[in-house]
Chain A
Amino acid sequence: AQKVTQAQTEISVVEKEDVTLDCVYETRDTTYYLFWYKQPPSGELVFLIRRNSFDEQNEISGRYSWNFQKSTSSFNFTITASQVVDSAVYFCALSEAWGTNAGKSTFGDGTTLTVKP
């Protein structure tokens, strides 16, 4: 069975602070994909990143960066110099590539990030 844990339910920071959102996953599959989505108050989940299990390189996109550590089954997300517009619920998700769960995304419970001015 696959599982995604986002232990941080809510995080509050002041603008310009760096913040890291944790994501820990469980899977028996050797080939899988990890995702992060952002859900602003409007409700729509916005895709941020997709990473496959064979690519452990960290990725940076502007103020966003992701740290994939296969050894600890973690895929953490860092926002540098946070802004008020970053306030949202962030979801980490896992999707196995093969087997009975292939293509079914399992989402974490989400982390609500509030960035105060």
Chain B
Amino acid sequence: ETGVTQTPRHLVMGMTNKKSLKCEQHLGHNAMYWYKQSAKKPLELMFVYNFKEQTENNSVPSRFSPECPNSSHLFLHLHTLQPEDSALYLCASSPGREPADTQYFGPGTRLTVL
């Protein structure tokens, strides 16, 4: 596989469920990102990991919990979500060598919270 992959592609969950989104990059990159894309809103940066260290938490509610066990994998753990959290969640990676590297995106997970 090449590029950035995300699983699952679609997820429907209730407000009391716990689920996890997975992202994997096969590009040898060192930085990984989570973005949220809601209808009628611009892409919102949620978290940034650089060399497995979290370098950015953009005031994201604690019901979203990221995990980066290594430079190739990034998870987003979800619990007690709200309907307004329904969105497309995009993962991206970049080489991590420069502050403004090009980011390469995965196909996203379409999340619906009932």
Contact = CB atoms under 8 A, between A and B. Distances in A.
A62 interface: no
B42 A109 contact: yes
Closest CB pairs A-B (n = 3): A95-B100, A102-B99, A45-B105
Interface in B55-93: 55-56, 88, 90, 92
A35 B104 CA distance: 12
23 contacts: A33-B100, A37-B105, A42-B107, A43-B88, A44-B106, A45-B92, A45-B105, A47-B103, A47-B104, A52-B100, A95-B99, A96-B100, A97-B98, A97-B100, A102-B100, A103-B31, A103-B55, A103-B101, A104-B45, A104-B56, A108-B42, A109-B42, A110-B42
Interface residues of B, number: 23
Interface of B: 31, 41-43, 45, 48, 55-56, 88, 90, 92, 98-108, 110
Nearest to B90: A45
Nearest to A96: B100
A52 B42 CA distance: 22
B107 A43 contact: yes
Interface of A: 32-33, 35, 37, 42-47, 50, 52, 91, 95-98, 102-105, 107-110
Nearest to A53: B100
Contacts of B107: 42-44
Contact of B100 (A32, A43, A110): A32
Contact of A107 (B43, B100, B104): B43
A79 B21 CA distance: 35
Contacts of B56: 104
Given A107-B43, A108-B42, A98 B99 contact: yes
A103 B104 contact: no
Given A103-B48, A107-B43, A43 B99 contact: no
